[in-house]
Structure 1
Amino acid sequence: MSDTQTMIENRPPSVAALFLERVAATPDTEAYRYPVPSAAGRGPDDWKSLSWGEAAERVFAIAAGLIELGIGSEDRVALASATRVEWILSDLGVMCAGGAVTTIYPSTNADESAFILSDSDSRVLIAEDAAQLAKAREHRAGLPSLRHVVVLEAADAVPAEGDPEGWVLSLADLEKRGSQYLAKHPAAVKERVSAITADQLATLIYTSGTTGRPKGVRLPHDNWSYMAKAMVATGLIGKDDVQYLWLPLAHVFGKVLTSGQIEVGHVTAVDGRIDKIIENLPVVQPTYMASVPRIFEKVYNGVAAKARAAGGAKYKIFQWAAGVAREYAKVSQDNFHRTGKAGAPFPLSAKHKIADRLVYGKIREAFGGNLRACVSGASGLAPEIGYFFSGAGIHILEGYGLTESSAASFVNPGEAYRTGTVGKPLPGTEVRIADDGEILLRGPGIMEGYHNQPEKTDEVLESDGWLHTGDIGELSPDGYLRITDRKKDLIKTSGGKYVAPSEIESQFKAICPYVSNLVVHGADRNYCTALIALDEPSLLGWAAENGLGGKSYAEVVAAPETNRLVETYVQTLNEGLQRWQTVKKFRILPRDLDVEHGDLTPSLKLKRPAVEREFKHLIDEMYEGAREA
């Protein structure tokens, strides 16, 4: 048996147990960094740290406080908060109390929040602030099981008329109660942790879903313990790493990153404010960061737009450097897979060195200067954007997984990564491609099932453990997986041709620096069309240089000049497509797609049916009087 197999098979029953091991091993080592607004309220934030020992004090107090409130084995405690260090401490506190965390995105509306609280039968809600408290209060009468709401922001933990006594308390109050409980029962938390079994429910994550009511995915403790060991076994993270964690922790992708960190013991800087990413990177100087493709697309579009705005020679230099980056990345990756050594022939390497001095170095500085690798997941990254960053020294390792598989089922293996694929399975995970191309997964990361929905569980989980992912993919002879589309998103034109919308959408994002989102339509139609949303900062920068300065975003997207601009990029896209894939007509949307309007999930995945419903009039317009194309 290999060392990797031994490490995975001899895993403890829970991440709570792993946490106790980590605290005992390195109590004085830095665990978390988190921002605190500067004293004057102006200028950059101050950053504070918690050692593993200090984190444990708070986690134990939270756990004991929950025990004192009556939380027992597998009792659900909901967490409705943005990503912040208190989220992690609370999550660990619930697990160390033997309870199970139900995650709720802070952007979830009051009705859906109430559905999740009710369906999960949550006994306690840990709410970030007054806004999250108000959602629970609005539906309190329909939530008889909800005994307490713990508010992270102490100033917002204000009871209202009609609240039962003790229904609202602050996190500080909970920790105080926990400390008092521990003074009388010092072994209480460790006893709870030692009683946890591998099959005990740890987390209930409701899929944000692209259609219908969310389903609660039941993930037992063993899922997270396996993920912690398997992630470290890949060699992607080490004890000296500094992780910048901004992803939503209510999402399985963000949550899994906390498990790997506990196993290896590196530092994590936590701040979920997306508008602070650019400001934080040079301060945190991470060695690795996980992200979703939209962030890389925004950075790429921003760099391209800035170079275009500089005009003339600078834009030509950027275009040349971008081409060199892509060529260098492709050649270098190919060389590595053929010879085990990256690099390129001298002429290309010489050009790359010049481009690095002129362009790439500045991009790496913007990421903090120490970035060893980024992990990208949740949806596909356009390969041409991946190659650009790879050539610029920002190595993006794409991965793949689902909420139902505890997030990380595949990841690209370090230096041996291959842009355009999601890499190889994590140690201990099996993969199979069904006859229709669907990806099937089996292993210790697979969910127990959907909460209260056995019939839905039976639809995707076979009796022998194989999970139907709903994604279509291809395995290379050496085991790299490439995702080609969602099974349910594949469309068939009225001419009988199959089209993968995400492939076309991905290609367009690499071609057009102004695009934010693209929705290709064509099911049962005789040609394909597209709804195009444009990135506001990039577009307004272009507008200022092209006689449209001072106009609003809505005015710019409606301008004929903008339509002509986008048309040139659509023509370039079509040149690389099969005839039946080409986008015959398009419409520019009056606004960008976002989470608030229900166009995107909180993890920024496209909710295709929702977008097509809202903009049905534009789609119908593109097919009026259509003849066979």
Structure 2
Amino acid sequence: MEIMDRIYKNVMNKVNEMSSFQRNLFILAYNYKMEQISKGHSTPLCDSFIFRKVRGLLGGNIRLLLCGGAPLSATTQRFMNICFCCPVGQGYGLTESCGAGTITEVWDYNTGRVGAPLVCCEIKLKNWEEGGYFNTDKPHPRGEILIGGQNVTMGYYKNEAKTKADFFEDENGQRWLCTGDIGEFDPDGCLKIIDRKKDLVKLQAGEYVSLGKVEAALKNLPLIDNICAYANSYHSYVIGFVVPNQKELTELARKKGLTGTWEELCNSSEMENEVLKVLSEAAISASLEKFEIPVKIRLSPEPWTPETGLVTDAFKLKRKELKTHYQADIERMYGRK
């Protein structure tokens, strides 16, 4: 997912640097192919003359792309479909379910879905009253995803408490894993991942914020290399930690008449405010609620890599480590002395 997002951002940056004619031609072909895909048609001329160079970034012979590390944004998935001229599917599963869960069909060009359950397991949705998700919801049932079957592990090594919390057996002897992910079933039996219990935070005024939703809406901005949203129940607004793109931030600083080293720019309150304006505009365009939009941010001059311990080897955010690392900034942004 992270690799696909980076490809999308880099290609779109190159498109924006094209001449007006080239850029408009690319956009015209892109929109035309998106319409044809929705009708089930192919576009061999666009593939050969417009998207050939983009396809070459991955060798030019890709026949299928599959993402399973984290939810892939609809924008990135559609971009990969169009520019790499191949189906882009998603799969879902956990280590505790031996990786097996769901996978999309090759012919399914819908975005945001992870497919139907595999033959080795069953999936059902459990009500999560606190979050407002119920398997009786209309028009689509929603709830915490439970995976059952022979592929579900026996538990966690030497961790009885967590095993009891995350696994259980029903009256028929079927073993189930409580994933902590919130799903929604489409009428054809395909699953969508719409939230995660650990990513939901209840603000002081009672609103629930999905941190993953906020990050997904903002992370594809050219100005952003990485972002982590943060909130807690003792305050009424969301804050964020941002790794800015050096080229884009430097250009923004130049336009605003701000100078300094990279570290000085990232530590500048003026730059924080300028980046925050860009984030707020993007959040509104992405239809985020007002309470979901970050009110304050911290710009990080150093990228988050597995070596820093702030992201996993698959570049997933380590929220606990990020919270510890930015504790002083959290206190500053929430006004603590």
Residue 332 of structure 1 aligns to a residue whose secondary structure is helix
Q: Are 2:314 and 1:616 aligned?
A: no
* Bigger radius of gyration: 1
Call closer, same or farther: CA 1:418–1:540 in 2, change over 3 Å.
same
- Corresponding residue number in structure 1 for 2:157: 451
After superposition, the C-alpha distances for 1:327-353 in whole angstroms (9 at most, x for unaligned) are 43xx634x4xxxxxx128xxxx7xx95
Counterpart CA distance in 1 for 2:29 and 2:332 is 40
Residue 323 of structure 2 aligns to a residue whose secondary structure is helix
User: Paired residue for 2:41, among 319, 340, 343?
Assistant: 343
Alpha-carbon deviation of 1:312? 4.7
- Corresponding residue number in structure 2 for 1:514: 223
Counterpart CA distance in 2 for 1:606 and 1:362 is 32
Give runs of aligned pairs for residues 165-564 of structure 1, distance below 5 A.
293-310=1-18, 312-318=20-26, 327-328=34-35, 332-333=37-38, 335=39, 342-343=40-41, 353-354=45-46, 356=47, 359-392=50-83, 393-436=85-128, 437-463=143-169, 464-510=174-220, 512-524=221-233, 525-536=235-246, 539=248, 553-554=262-263, 557-558=266-267, 560=270, 564=274
Residue 466 of structure 1 aligns to a residue whose secondary structure is strand
Counterpart CA distance in 1 for 2:166 and 2:181 is 12
Call closer, same or farther: CA 1:457–1:493 in 2, change over 3 Å.
same
Please, what is the CA RMSD of the aligned residues?
3.1
Alpha-carbon deviation of 1:301? 1.4
- Corresponding residue number in structure 2 for 1:38: none
Counterpart CA distance in 2 for 1:589 and 1:620 is 16
Alpha-carbon deviation of 1:543? 7.0
Counterpart CA distance in 1 for 2:178 and 2:2 is 26
Call closer, same or farther: CA 1:567–1:415 in 2, change over 3 Å.
same
Counterpart CA distance in 2 for 1:569 and 1:546 is 17
Counterpart CA distance in 2 for 1:438 and 1:529 is 26
Counterpart CA distance in 1 for 2:168 and 2:21 is 59
Residue 499 of structure 1 aligns to a residue whose secondary structure is strand
Counterpart amino acid of 1:300? Answer: Y
Counterpart CA distance in 1 for 2:197 and 2:209 is 11
- Corresponding residue number in structure 1 for 2:282: 572
Residue 79 of structure 2 aligns to a residue whose secondary structure is helix
Alpha-carbon deviation of 1:583? 2.4
Counterpart amino acid of 1:390? Answer: N
Q: Are 2:295 and 1:581 aligned?
A: no
Number of aligned residue pairs = 313
Counterpart CA distance in 2 for 1:498 and 1:508 is 18
Alpha-carbon deviation of 1:558? 4.8
Please tell me whether the aligned partners of residues 62 and 86 of structure 2 are also in contact (alpha carbons under 8 angstroms). Answer: yes
Residue 53 of structure 2 aligns to a residue whose secondary structure is helix
Residue 222 of structure 2 aligns to a residue whose secondary structure is coil
Counterpart amino acid of 2:311? Answer: L
Call closer, same or farther: CA 1:400–1:545 in 2, change over 3 Å.
farther
Please tell me whether the aligned partners of residues 324 and 391 of structure 1 are also in contact (alpha carbons under 8 angstroms). Answer: no
Alpha-carbon deviation of 1:500? 1.1
Call closer, same or farther: CA 1:532–1:540 in 2, change over 3 Å.
closer
Counterpart amino acid of 1:379? Answer: A
After superposition, the C-alpha distances for 1:89-121 in whole angstroms (9 at most, x for unaligned) are xxxxxxxxxxxxxxxxxxxxxxxxxxxxxxxxx
Counterpart amino acid of 1:373? Answer: L
Please tell me whether the aligned partners of residues 241 and 297 of structure 2 are also in contact (alpha carbons under 8 angstroms). Answer: yes
Call closer, same or farther: CA 1:554–1:321 in 2, change over 3 Å.
farther
Residue 308 of structure 2 aligns to a residue whose secondary structure is coil
Alpha-carbon deviation of 1:556? 5.3
Alpha-carbon deviation of 1:365? 1.6
After superposition, the C-alpha distances for 1:12-36 in whole angstroms (9 at most, x for unaligned) are xxxxxxxxxxxxxxxxxxxxxxxxx
Q: Gaps spanning 5+ residues in structure 1: where?
A: 1-292, 336-341
Call closer, same or farther: CA 1:583–1:545 in 2, change over 3 Å.
closer
Counterpart CA distance in 1 for 2:123 and 2:328 is 42
Call closer, same or farther: CA 1:553–1:582 in 2, change over 3 Å.
same
Alpha-carbon deviation of 1:404? 0.4
Alpha-carbon deviation of 1:570? 2.9
After superposition, the C-alpha distances for 1:254-307 in whole angstroms (9 at most, x for unaligned) are xxxxxxxxxxxxxxxxxxxxxxxxxxxxxxxxxxxxxxx110111111112223
Which has the larger helix fraction? 1
Counterpart CA distance in 1 for 2:62 and 2:48 is 17
Counterpart CA distance in 1 for 2:299 and 2:57 is 31
Call closer, same or farther: CA 1:493–1:432 in 2, change over 3 Å.
same
Alpha-carbon deviation of 1:314? 4.2
Alpha-carbon deviation of 1:375? 0.9
User: Share of identical aligned residues, percent?
Assistant: 28
Alpha-carbon deviation of 1:452? 2.3
Counterpart CA distance in 2 for 1:426 and 1:369 is 30
Counterpart CA distance in 1 for 2:201 and 2:272 is 29
Determine which structure has greater relative contact order: mean sequence separation of CA pairs < 8 Å that are 6+ residues apart, divided by chain length. 1
Call closer, same or farther: CA 1:459–1:481 in 2, change over 3 Å.
same
Counterpart CA distance in 1 for 2:67 and 2:51 is 20
Alpha-carbon deviation of 1:620? 2.7
- Corresponding residue number in structure 2 for 1:277: none
User: Paired residue for 2:304, among 593, 596, 600?
Assistant: 593
Counterpart CA distance in 2 for 1:412 and 1:619 is 40
